[in-house]
Chain A
Amino acid sequence: MIAEIGHFALILALAVAAFQTLVPLIGAERGHGQMIASAVPATLLQLILVYVAFAALTHAYLISDFSVQNVFENSHSAKPLLYKISGVWGNHEGSMLLWVFILASFGGAVAVFGDNLPPTLKARVLAVQGAIGFAFLLFIVVASNPFARLNPVPIEGNGLNPVLQDPALAFHPPFLYAGYVGLSVAFSFAIAALIDGKVDAAWARWVRPWTLAAWMFLTIGISMGSWWAYYELGWGGWWFWDPVENASFMPWLVATALLHSAIVVEKRNALKVWTVLLSILAFSLSLLGTFLVRSGVLTSVHAFAVDPARGVFILGILCFFIGGALTLFAWRAPALKAGGFFSPISREGGLVLNNLFLCAACASVLIGTLYPLALETVTGEKISVGPPYFNLTFGPIMLPLLLLVPIGAQLSWKRADLFAALQRLWAAAALAVGLGVLVLIATERGPWLAPFGMALGAWLIFGSLADLANRIALFSAPLPTSLSRLAGLPRSSLGMTSAHAGLGLMIIGIIAISLWKVEHIVAMKPGERADVGSYTVQFVGEAPLTGENYTGRAGRFRLFRGEREVATVVSEKREFKPAGTPTTEVGLYQTLAGDVYVVMGDRTADGARVVRLYFNPLVSLIWLGALIMFLGGALSLTDRRYRVGAPKRKLTAAGVPAE
């Protein structure tokens, strides 16, 4: 019964979404006050209905109602509670419902927190949100019903893919989707602005916090996914340039560009057309990501053809929104007035370069992901595009961008003095080069990229700190003055400093694991020792293992540094009920200097265990850096100018005649 309520709520939500799209849009066109005002209650009603549907599916999972096909296929009564909940979105139908759930939540947030928006703009934004919601609800209702029943009712379910039964992965999809879908708000604002024919500083100030929030979710979602891949897949790798990863990385790159260009619109009223285009592109890439992951087109062109209904449906949604938005853009963008001029050497100029490099980097990921598909479709020829391609294109594009980050942050608006900017950074540059030289000496014959990469990371970190020190006149004014200045700094500027420094930490981590990883593959019998990095690992022995829904073997390993024992780690091989699917748990000893990563493999013919040992230097900095970038975003989001709200637009725009 509850499943039917959920299904019914979805259908009602579809109808409400249709209303939410059409009525406010027509109202805004005609200046009809009541029609405009209907946007908010319609949005909230859609939100409630989608929540009911989501709650109904969650309920079915919690009570293991195997009469619902989706639950039967993806759950098992012996599964721990956390994974019963995460099972809701660990499958195609449920993840689409989560998508719509988050979309409705963002729509609701705009309806509730958008008090300072001009009513027509708000109505149009909510209408576009409604249209997106309508398309995906239609998809769910027509082609992807999560509430389909089974008869006869099976006694037990098939279980969730055991590799997905992990805390980091349980919350990876919600964060990632919050990022994907959060970009829909920027998209809706862009469409509304194009219809409105007006983009100004106030518009940018409304768009930016939503983009920032989406960017934060994407940052945390992507890094959770990579953290999971690092310790769960057991290959010691953390990023594979896998198409599914790329699908989430592309919106992140464009959202990062958008964050920066929206500042230019807000502060200088320039780059307006470009920023609107970026808002459209960012969400378009989110839609593309959804399509790529959900249609199965990536597995192969043929997998797509096997179950075309869903793929074609999402492709249709994709074409409608991207095509429609770009057409509207081509038609209306010329009407947007160009804004303030700036000299090439200025903060604006720096941000333009930032956008150019980020978009080119995104293009390299996009073409690398889609080219094999396109080539096969057109010529039938099959090629592969793997990590070497991305290292050779994405890498060199990001390099100049990263070098320019500290300099750009020093430039003043409109026209800047490059020499003065560089002068403020001499200490940071000296420290970075010093570190590079130290690395060069320490690793004489090591890869030449290492000293350079370390210096680059240090340049970003020290450059950010130098910026902060300059702002609060640390060293040039008495300490109390500096501290009071620190307290008075806008949070957005602190946010920028931390995000850039976090990026520097991440670069150091990436370079370190890429170039200095130590691997030792060895067959070990209990009691035997093997070296990895500066550690010695002793295989103690193995014992049987029983968990809530799996059995397996646990191998114990003692870690020594010199003769001193530092830790014991356990690597497990698990077999999950009901199918006996095997997984591996990595034995991980983490320090800031690096991780010892122990994976127990198969038994060899003579009774030893194959053991893979890794020393991954500085690898935690990758996720620490991501966390600091996230916190930087959070700091920026609490900036005073968002809390006090946007400046009022001129009366002509704000005042909407009632009828």
Chain B
Amino acid sequence: MKWLLLCFLLLAVPAYAVQPDEILGDARLEQRARDLSTGFRCLVCQNQSIDESDAPLARDLRILIRERLTKGDSDSQIRDFVVARYGEFVLLKPRLSARTAILWATPFLIILAGFAVILRRRKLSGVPAESALSAEEQKALRDLSS
């Protein structure tokens, strides 16, 4: 959170994120604009999307997205356009590629590996899941219960 703060403090005049004059008349387009802009990183802040950011650069980008939307661009066209301008760094949700495969796969691989280890251990130790009583124990049990 400190980094959010830092970004917040660097700006002498905080103007909160999306301004009324930016909002599009068409509610559906506006919703798409909001969804898109929560996925782009504000480049002059730390870990903040352009939707939340007060920076002028973020505002320019928000307006640009809305202009493109009203021109009829699709979400992926806009995303490609922004990435072409600012690089992959701008995407808060990194696209799946050879570079990010480890990032996306690791959490789920850990679960699979965990299950594998649990199953293997059970096999190795030959868990006596239904361990029957030995003859001696059976006798002891009979003695006890008689």
Say yes or no: B93 contacts A388, CB within 8 Å.
Answer: yes
Assuming the contacts A388-B39, A393-B107, asked whether A602 and B99 have C-beta atoms less than 8 A apart, the reply is no
Say yes or no: B13 contacts A385, CB within 8 Å.
Answer: no
Say yes or no: A610 contacts B1, CB within 8 Å.
Answer: no
* Residues on A with beta carbons closer than 8 Å to the beta carbon of B103: 367-368, 371, 385, 389
| Docked complex: B1-45 residues within 8 A CB-CB of A | 1-6, 8-9, 12-21, 23, 38-39, 41
B132 in the interface (beta carbon within 8 A): no
Say yes or no: B107 contacts A602, CB within 8 Å.
Answer: no
A397 in the interface (beta carbon within 8 A): yes
Task: Name the CB-closest residue of A to B89.
Answer: A382
A515 in the interface (beta carbon within 8 A): no
When chains A and B are docked, how far (Å) is the Cα of A293 from the Cα of B49?
Answer: 21
A359 in the interface (beta carbon within 8 A): yes
Say yes or no: A384 contacts B89, CB within 8 Å.
Answer: yes
Say yes or no: A352 contacts B118, CB within 8 Å.
Answer: yes
Say yes or no: B99 contacts A386, CB within 8 Å.
Answer: no
B81 in the interface (beta carbon within 8 A): no
* Residues on B with beta carbons closer than 8 Å to the beta carbon of A541: none
Assuming the contacts A352-B118, A384-B41, asked whether A389 and B92 have C-beta atoms less than 8 A apart, the reply is yes
Which one of A293, A382, A415 lies within 8 Å of B2 (CB-CB)? A293
Task: Name the CB-closest residue of B to A368.
Answer: B103
| Docked complex: A89-103 residues within 8 A CB-CB of B | none
When chains A and B are docked, how far (Å) is the Cα of A338 from the Cα of B125?
Answer: 10
Task: Name the CB-closest residue of B to A605.
Answer: B21
Say yes or no: B107 contacts A361, CB within 8 Å.
Answer: yes
Say yes or no: B114 contacts A242, CB within 8 Å.
Answer: no
A375 in the interface (beta carbon within 8 A): yes
Say yes or no: B4 contacts A240, CB within 8 Å.
Answer: yes
Number of chain B residues close to chain A: CB under 8 A: 54
Say yes or no: A521 contacts B18, CB within 8 Å.
Answer: yes
Chain B binder among A61-69, A195-203, A228-236, A468-476: A228-236
B102 in the interface (beta carbon within 8 A): yes
Say yes or no: A387 contacts B92, CB within 8 Å.
Answer: yes
Say yes or no: A234 contacts B16, CB within 8 Å.
Answer: yes
* Residues on A with beta carbons closer than 8 Å to the beta carbon of B38: 387
Say yes or no: B114 contacts A381, CB within 8 Å.
Answer: no
Interface string of B91-122 (1 = CB under 8 A from A): 11110000110111011101100110010001
When chains A and B are docked, how far (Å) is the Cα of A381 from the Cα of B108?
Answer: 24
* Residues on B with beta carbons closer than 8 Å to the beta carbon of A245: 1
B128 in the interface (beta carbon within 8 A): yes
A423 in the interface (beta carbon within 8 A): no
Which one of B8, B47, B92, B114 lies within 8 Å of A233 (CB-CB)? B8
A277–chain B nearest beta-carbon distance, Å: 12
Say yes or no: B94 contacts A384, CB within 8 Å.
Answer: yes
Which one of A233, A344, A386 lies within 8 Å of B93 (CB-CB)? A386
Say yes or no: A341 contacts B89, CB within 8 Å.
Answer: no
A221–chain B nearest beta-carbon distance, Å: 13
When chains A and B are docked, how far (Å) is the Cα of A129 from the Cα of B110?
Answer: 31
Which one of B19, B90, B107 lies within 8 Å of A364 (CB-CB)? B107
Which one of B18, B47, B108, B118 lies within 8 Å of A242 (CB-CB)? B47
Which one of A299, A363, A385 lies within 8 Å of B3 (CB-CB)? A299
| Docked complex: A264-316 residues within 8 A CB-CB of B | 293, 298-299
* Residues on B with beta carbons closer than 8 Å to the beta carbon of A357: 111
Assuming the contacts A242-B1, A243-B47, A361-B107, asked whether A389 and B87 have C-beta atoms less than 8 A apart, the reply is no
B52 in the interface (beta carbon within 8 A): yes
* Residues on B with beta carbons closer than 8 Å to the beta carbon of A360: 107-108, 110-111, 114
Assuming the contacts A161-B5, A382-B89, A386-B41, asked whether A397 and B107 have C-beta atoms less than 8 A apart, the reply is yes
Which one of A341, A383, A415, A602 lies within 8 Å of B100 (CB-CB)? A383
* Residues on B with beta carbons closer than 8 Å to the beta carbon of A455: none
* Residues on B with beta carbons closer than 8 Å to the beta carbon of A243: 3, 47
A599 in the interface (beta carbon within 8 A): yes
When chains A and B are docked, how far (Å) is the Cα of A242 from the Cα of B2?
Answer: 9
A581 in the interface (beta carbon within 8 A): yes
* Residues on B with beta carbons closer than 8 Å to the beta carbon of A385: 92, 94, 103
Assuming the contacts A242-B1, A299-B46, A383-B100, asked whether A599 and B16 have C-beta atoms less than 8 A apart, the reply is yes
When chains A and B are docked, how far (Å) is the Cα of A299 from the Cα of B46?
Answer: 7
A544 in the interface (beta carbon within 8 A): no
Say yes or no: B13 contacts A602, CB within 8 Å.
Answer: yes
Say yes or no: A240 contacts B106, CB within 8 Å.
Answer: no
When chains A and B are docked, how far (Å) is the Cα of A26 from the Cα of B128?
Answer: 43
When chains A and B are docked, how far (Å) is the Cα of A471 from the Cα of B37?
Answer: 51
A438 in the interface (beta carbon within 8 A): no
B127 in the interface (beta carbon within 8 A): yes
* Residues on B with beta carbons closer than 8 Å to the beta carbon of A163: 5, 8-9
* Residues on B with beta carbons closer than 8 Å to the beta carbon of A581: 9
B129 in the interface (beta carbon within 8 A): yes
B144–chain A nearest beta-carbon distance, Å: 20
A237 in the interface (beta carbon within 8 A): yes
Which one of B14, B19, B90 lies within 8 Å of A521 (CB-CB)? B19
Q: Beyond A240-B4, A242-B1, A352-B118: 14 further Cβ-contacts under 8 Å?
A: A161-B9, A163-B9, A164-B5, A242-B3, A242-B47, A338-B125, A360-B107, A371-B103, A379-B99, A388-B39, A392-B93, A582-B12, A602-B14, A602-B15
Where the two chains meet, the residues of B that have a C-beta atom closer than 8 Å to any C-beta of A are: 1-6, 8-9, 12-21, 23, 38-39, 41, 46-49, 52, 87-94, 99-100, 102-104, 106-108, 110-111, 114-115, 118, 122, 125, 127-129, 131
Nearest 8 pairs between A and B by C-beta?
A386-B92, A388-B93, A364-B107, A356-B114, A382-B89, A360-B110, A601-B16, A523-B20
6 A-B pairs with CB atoms under 8 Å apart are: A242-B1, A244-B2, A360-B114, A387-B49, A388-B93, A521-B20
Where the two chains meet, the residues of A that have a C-beta atom closer than 8 Å to any C-beta of B are: 161, 163-164, 225, 229, 233-235, 237, 240-245, 293, 298-299, 338, 341, 343-344, 352, 356-357, 359-361, 363-364, 367-368, 371, 375, 379, 381-389, 392-394, 397, 415, 521-523, 581-582, 584, 599, 601-602, 604, 610, 612
